[in-house]
Amino acid sequence: MDGYDKNEGLEKNGENTREEIFSKVVRAGKRTYFLDVKATRRNDYYLTITESKKRFNRDGRHYFEKHKIFLYKEDFDKFAENLTEVIDFIKENAPEQEPLEKENTGVNAEVTQEKTELETVKTEGYSSDVDFDDLGNTNE
């Protein structure tokens, strides 16, 4: 999914809501990562990185387990530099792995169903359950 622009600060039931300003979705096997740019009330941008994994209850029904990281612009350079260093280390030093053989039985159907469900979640509105008045401003 390509990034997209959204209107910021829409009124919803009399409340000021924070919409994603720009968003990317990265599907990686059984995980999906949402990279969302949001703004504080002072229009200071920050990044949320959300990992979503499909899990199953004991009764067989599924749900999505989510983990979220907030990354503020004052930390972007350090974060990007160290992330690049760690990725380069892994690429250069990780032992070679034998490719996993996948059975075609049901794999494509499961992946298609997961993508459809995740796209539905994103289409219906993906929002953070955390709401801060002024994220990232520590100078006050």
CA distances (Å), origin 42, targets 34, 39, 99: 23, 7, 49
Considering the domain boundaries, does residue 133 fall inside one? no
Considering the domain boundaries, does residue 5 fall inside one? no
Domain that holds residue 60: 11-93+105-123
Residue partners of 57: CB distance under 8 A and separation at least 6:
63
- In the chain, how many domains are there? 1
Considering the domain boundaries, does residue 43 fall inside one? yes
Considering the domain boundaries, does residue 49 fall inside one? yes
**Start-end of H helices in 38-138:** 76-93, 107-123
CATH number of the domain enclosing 52:
3.10.450.700
**pLDDT of 66 over the 90 cut:** yes
pLDDT of 102: 59
pLDDT tens, 97-131? 887 765 554 545 555 555 545 554 444 444 444 44
Q: Give percent of the chain above pLDDT 70.
A: 58
pLDDT of 98: 81
